[in-house]
Structure 1
Amino acid sequence: MSTIRIRREAFRAPLDNGLFLNGEIKAIEGQKDLPVVVVAHGFRGFKEWGFWPHVTDVLAEQGFYTVVFDFSRIDAAATKQPEAVIAQARTLSRELEDLETILTLVREQRLPQSDSADPTRIGLLGHSRGGASSIITAAERADIGAVAAWNPPSDLTPPAGASAEPYIAADIEQNANRFDIPYKLAYLKRPALIVQGSADGERILLGHEALRLAAPGHTFVQVQGGDHTFGVQHPFAGQTPFLDEAISVTTGFLRHHLQPIEAVREEAL
């Protein structure tokens, strides 16, 4: 029998707007030069939502220095900031700034257990809007080795007739070119994986086809029967076949492109 020891350590990173990014590092204890995977939760999610603790445990066990964090909108709501601060923190532009901050901390080795990480090998994994942010970030940076997105939208514009928060709507309108997900994916020079549940909402499924048409050179996998969260709710009640498939294809993709060393297993006494 063998075991892998995963060391977990929290961090709290201050931002220029007075908010914080609260996160956690998970990595195999005693290992060096592990490739990095930064995990971005969805718009209505958070780092402890549903499947994320399980997914990030698997990533760490697979030999990745795993970074999971809450976007600053979570801190804004938790600390009861003024409504304008919370609204601004919920924009995609702020989300992208948060992700850039995490990547800067990775590159400068200012996160916990930094001696375990190889900051020259970085991958991104995002779900829903976090998947869109991961695609945009990967397209705008030269230091991202691979990106995986689970059920990402292709169009961030609110549907006709839907209510939209003014700050979010204005941010999308002002950054229409930057937030063009099919365009960003089409011109992304690094390998990308899009994992899509076949039972997701109609708008996301239509967007998935738009992404396939725009960027046929990337990898697209459809999880038959999987919905937007692969059958998982919060609190987490256990794995589903849909989640298992999404994890399996994603870890295989990231291992291929980031090439983690094989985990050293300790023999249990």
Structure 2
Amino acid sequence: MIITQSHTLPGAKGRNMLMDLTFEETNPHAPLLIFVHGFKGFKDWGTHHLVARYFAQNGYRFLKFNFSHNGTTPEDANDLTDMIAFSENTFSIELEDLQYVIDFACSGSVIPAVQSVCLIGHSMGGGISIVKAAEDKRVSRLITMASVASFRNLWPKEIEKQWKLAGVLNFTNKRTGQDMPVKSTLLDDLERNPGRLNVLARAADVQQPWLLLHGTADTVVLPSHAHDLKAMQPNARLALIPNADHVFGATHPYVQQDLPLALQELCRKAVDFLKDV
């Protein structure tokens, strides 16, 4: 039987992060995977629960969490409603959050038998996972899904000057139509930490086994990002999913009981990789 346990953990600036751990009841000490969601994402978006079950059924524990400033709240975990928190998010905050999650997982206080973790990061979360893998040796394996090769892929370069002048830039949530403000402190963070937050440069520092997964029909983060990352880290394995978009066929909400075909293929490739290294 598949079990899902819920936990709450303080994140950056003391803001709580919700997380859940999915595993097969007969395999409570299975290897641990930590899923890192992307920009305007959250742990319960779309198909994430089905992905968690897939990995649990294939011999892994799957931990997914909400970044502390991703726009969700403990009271409303299924939508982006806290625009104050969202506006104050930075990449360094997300790295701090991920550090807390890895510390929590490896402490042994709640999740038993964890000495190392595998990170699975999607889109912006892929970039965060690359940086963290490069600097934290408790990360034993890395899987990225449609990962950015630069955090600046999230907006047009030419708007940065006006963004700084205005102090805030609105990002439109295409699903809901809402304007989601992001303060220019996000740009300040990039400029204060040019080495740490250079995803391509950090890709060269990744020593762990790494699987790069990307859809050939991704128009949000172009497949060229995967090739750029592979060029920086030749030891990484690159697998392209034919005709897959940025979310590998998923939607939110997602009412079907089975994974989309492209996401099924991605999960199969990921499990094959994990069992091979």
| Alignment correspondent of 1:70 | 66
Determine which of 135, 147, 150 is the counterpart of 2:142.
147
3-state SS of the aligned residue for 2:147? coil
**Structure 1: distance between partners of 2:242 and 2:190:** 31
Higher relative contact order (CA 8 A, sep 6+): 1
| Alignment correspondent of 2:156 | 159
- Structure 1 stretches (4+) deviating beyond 6 angstroms? 78-82
Question: Is the counterpart of residue 13 in structure 1 residue 33 in structure 2?
Answer: no
1:216-240 per-position Cα deviation (integer Å, ceiling 9, x unaligned) = 2110011110010012111114322
The percentage of counterpart residues that share the same residue type is 24
Counterparts of residues 179-218 of structure 1 (less than 5 Å): 179-201=197-219, 204-218=222-236
One-letter identity of the residue aligned with 1:183: A
**Structure 1: distance between partners of 2:190 and 2:275:** 34
**Structure 2: distance between partners of 1:255 and 1:203:** 28
Question: Could you tell me the TM-score, scaled by structure 1's length?
Answer: 0.85
Post-superposition shift, 1:76?
Answer: 6.1
3-state SS of the aligned residue for 2:4? strand
Distance 1:154 1:28, change over 3 A: same
Post-superposition shift, 1:69?
Answer: 0.8
| Alignment correspondent of 1:98 | 97
Determine which of 42, 45, 66 is the counterpart of 1:46.
42
One-letter identity of the residue aligned with 1:242: A
**Structure 1: distance between partners of 2:12 and 2:65:** 17
3-state SS of the aligned residue for 2:9? strand
Post-superposition shift, 1:208?
Answer: 2.0
Distance 1:219 1:16, change over 3 A: closer
**Conserved in 1, the CA contact under 8 Å of 2:33 and 2:119?**
yes
Post-superposition shift, 1:203?
Answer: 5.3
Question: Is the counterpart of residue 125 in structure 1 residue 124 in structure 2?
Answer: no
1:9-46 per-position Cα deviation (integer Å, ceiling 9, x unaligned) = 10011235231010111111143431110111111111
**RMSD between aligned residues:** 2.1
Distance 1:181 1:96, change over 3 A: same
Question: Is the counterpart of residue 61 in structure 1 residue 60 in structure 2?
Answer: no
3-state SS of the aligned residue for 2:139? coil
Q: Any gaps of 5 or more consecutive residues in structure 1?
A: 258-269
Q: Any gaps of 5 or more consecutive residues in structure 2?
A: 76-80, 164-168, 170-181
**Conserved in 1, the CA contact under 8 Å of 2:2 and 2:24?**
yes
**Conserved in 2, the CA contact under 8 Å of 1:139 and 1:184?**
yes
3-state SS of the aligned residue for 2:158? coil
Determine which of 147, 169, 180 is the counterpart of 2:187.
169
3-state SS of the aligned residue for 2:195? coil
| Alignment correspondent of 1:234 | 252
